Amino acid sequence: MSRAFIKIRRHVGNGVTYVVLATLGILWVLPIIYLIYTAFRTTPSTGIINTLIPDNLQLGFGNFSRLFSDTMFLRWLGNTLLVAVCSCALSTIFILMVSYALSRMRFRLRKPIMNLLLILGMFPGFMSMIAVYFILKAMGLTNSLLALILVYSGSAALSYYICKGFFDTVPKSMEEAAILDGASQPIVFWKIIMPLAKPIIVYTVLTSFISPWCDFIFVNTIISDRNLYTVSLGLYKMINAEKNSFNDNFTVFCAGAFVVGGIIVTLFMSMQRYYVEGVTSGAVKG
């Protein structure tokens, strides 16, 4: 096989790969463009765009005005932020402490516990939705933001494996030197390990924040009070409140989705460097 043929085949293969990736990229971006355009669109009266290229490109902020004046969007956003921040804080603490314990401590049931947590983490969370609902109902915690915080942070330890991979890369000699100097295990964890774990902490914070921020299933199951809706449930109820409300409020729905998506995208973009460092450092076991 000549070099020229090998070179041509490589170029053809690369060209096909680029075409496929470009096509997939366009298909991925089109819904986002559709949502952004619909969020700023002022006409027509119906909210749905039925053509790929709209006839009228009049844009404005009327949908955002309706979003903040005609709905309880700010309250829903506040509820979502409260639940996400509290769940994120608790989940981060749980994950870091469980990961460090499984990485450093050696005890008889260590491997069975790790395997059990890994297997449980493979099951979708909504499979436990009915059981969780009846447990919360028996405790009198349904229809409350506290219930959501407990649900989101209760299973946080199941996501220990990335953080454990990071802690496995930290040299044990640093901890041993601190212990010889009289430091206890908690002091070693908070004063020695945590300052070195900034990338994995940021990764854990972001992954713990995104789940309660975007969740709909558990919120729809637990919350029935309109004042306690999160943005996902509030926007869903808004476009399904009446028979024709979907078409009438679809542009407002897209405006709300734009605001919610913009917040999370801004957060990820600002923390992107640490997020990538956390993923790569936790994926390599030392």
Q: Which amino acid is at 260?
A: V
Tell me what pLDDT residue 86 has: 92
Q: Ranked by mean pLDDT, which of 47-51, 64-68, 102-106 comes out on top?
A: 64-68
For a pLDDT cut of 70, what percent of the chain falls above it? 86
- Residues 238-270 have pLDDT tens digits of 888 766 667 778 888 888 999 998 888 888 787
The predicted model gives 116-135 an average pLDDT of: 81
- Residues 81-124 have pLDDT tens digits of 999 999 999 988 888 888 888 888 788 888 888 888 888 777 77
Tell me what pLDDT residue 1 has: 56
Closest CA to 257 of 228, 223, 232: 232
Tell me what pLDDT residue 85 has: 92
Query: What CATH number matches the domain at 71-282, 3.50.50.60, 1.10.3720.10, 1.20.1250.20, 3.20.20.370?
Result: 1.10.3720.10
The SS3 call for residue 41 is: strand
How far is residue 148's CA from residue 150's CA, in Å, rounded to a whole number? 5
How far is residue 226's CA from residue 223's CA, in Å, rounded to a whole number? 8
Q: Which amino acid is at 182?
A: G
- Who contacts 181 (Cβ-Cβ below 8 Å, separation ≥6)? none
Q: Where are the domains of the chain?
A: 3-63, 71-282
More confident site: 70 or 285: 70
Q: Which amino acid is at 190?
A: W
More confident site: 1 or 240: 240
Average pLDDT, rounded, for the chain: 81
Tell me what pLDDT residue 76 has: 92
**Residues for the chain: how many in total?**
286
pTM more than 0.95: no
3-state secondary structure 177-224: HHHHCCCCHHHHHHHHHHHHCHHHHHHHHHHHHHHHHHCCHHHHHHCC
pLDDT band at 286 (very low <50, low <70, confident <90, very high): very low
Q: Distance from CA of residue 111 to its chain's centroid?
A: 28
The predicted model gives 25-42 an average pLDDT of: 85
Cα torsion 132, 138, 139, 141: sign: positive
Tell me what pLDDT residue 169 has: 82
- Residues 155-192 have pLDDT tens digits of 787 778 788 888 888 888 888 888 888 888 788 888 88
